[in-house]
Chains A and B, each alone.
Chain A
Amino acid sequence: MKELVKQLVETYGPAGQEGRVRALIEGIIRPYVDASRVDALGNLIALKRGSGGGKRLMIAAHMDEIGVVVTHIDKKGFARFGRVGGVQVQTMVGGRVLFGNGAVGVIGWEKWLQSRGVPAWEELFIDVGATSPDDSPVRVGDVGAFLRPFVDLGKRLVSKAMDDRIGCAVVIQALMEMKESPNDVYFVFTAQEELGTRGAVVSAFGVEPEVGIAVDVTHIGDTPEARPMAVSLGKGPAIKVMDAGMVVNPAVKQWMIDVAEKEGIPYQLEVLEFGGTDARSIQLSKAGVPAGCLSIPCRYVHSPSEMVDYEDVQGAVKLLRKLLESSPSFSS
Chain B
Amino acid sequence: MDALLKKLSEARGVSGNEEAVRQVILEAVREHIDGYRVDALGNLICYKKARRQGGASWPRKVMLAAHMDEVGLMVTGFNNDGTLRFGKVGGIDDRVLLSKQVLIGPDAVPGVIGYRPIHLIPRAERNRPPDFSKLAIDIGASNQAGAEKLVKLGDYVSFRTSFEVLAEDGLRTVKGKAFDDRAGCAVLVELLKGEYAVDLYAAFTTQEEVGLRGAKVAAYAIAPDVAFAFEGTICDDLPSKKDVSPVTELGKGPAITFMDRSFVADRRLVDLLVRTAEKEGIPYQFKRAVAGGTDSGAIHLSREGVPAVTVSVPSRYIHAPVSMLSLLDLEHTVQLVQKSLHNMEGGLGS
Chains A, B in direct contact (C-beta < 8 Å): yes
| Interface of A toward B, CB cutoff 8 Å | 15-16, 39-41, 43, 69, 71-72, 74-76, 80, 82-84, 122, 140-141, 192, 195, 198, 201-203, 205-206
What distance in Å separates the Cβ of B17 from its nearest Cβ neighbour in chain A?
Answer: 29
For B303, give its contact among A141, A192, A205 (CB under 8 Å): A205
Closest to A72 in B: B245
How many of B's residues come within 8 Å of A, CB to CB?
22
For B290, give its contact among A40, A83, A201, A206 (CB under 8 Å): A83
Complex Cα–Cα for A205 and B220 (A): 12
Top 10 A-B pairs, shortest CB-CB distance = A82-B290, A72-B245, A16-B264, A40-B305, A202-B305, A74-B243, A206-B304, A141-B258, A41-B305, A71-B288
What distance in Å separates the Cβ of B312 from its nearest Cβ neighbour in chain A?
Answer: 15
Complex Cα–Cα for A78 and B289 (A): 16
Closest to B288 in A: A71
What distance in Å separates the Cβ of A82 from its nearest Cβ neighbour in chain B?
Answer: 3
**Could you tell me if A122 and B301 are in contact, using CB atoms closer than 8 angstroms?**
no
Residue B300 is within 8 A (CB to CB) of chain A in the complex: yes
With A15-B264, A72-B245, A75-B243 known as contacts, the answer to whether A82 contacts B305 (CB < 8 A) is no
Residue B307 is within 8 A (CB to CB) of chain A in the complex: yes
What distance in Å separates the Cβ of A78 from its nearest Cβ neighbour in chain B?
Answer: 8
What distance in Å separates the Cβ of B216 from its nearest Cβ neighbour in chain A?
Answer: 11
**Could you tell me if B259 and A69 are in contact, using CB atoms closer than 8 angstroms?**
yes
Complex Cα–Cα for A248 and B286 (A): 41
Interface centre among A40, A82, A83 (most CB of B within 10 A): A40
What distance in Å separates the Cβ of B11 from its nearest Cβ neighbour in chain A?
Answer: 33
Residues of A within 8 A of B97 (CB): none
**Could you tell me if B243 and A82 are in contact, using CB atoms closer than 8 angstroms?**
no
Complex Cα–Cα for A80 and B244 (A): 7
For B301, give its contact among A74, A198, A206 (CB under 8 Å): A198
| Interface of B toward A, CB cutoff 8 Å | 243-245, 258-259, 263-264, 266, 270, 286, 288-291, 300-307
**Could you tell me if B289 and A82 are in contact, using CB atoms closer than 8 angstroms?**
yes
Closest to A195 in B: B264
Closest to B265 in A: A16
What distance in Å separates the Cβ of A209 from its nearest Cβ neighbour in chain B?
Answer: 14
Residues of A within 8 A of B266 (CB): 40
**Could you tell me if A205 and B245 are in contact, using CB atoms closer than 8 angstroms?**
no
**Could you tell me if B301 and A202 are in contact, using CB atoms closer than 8 angstroms?**
yes
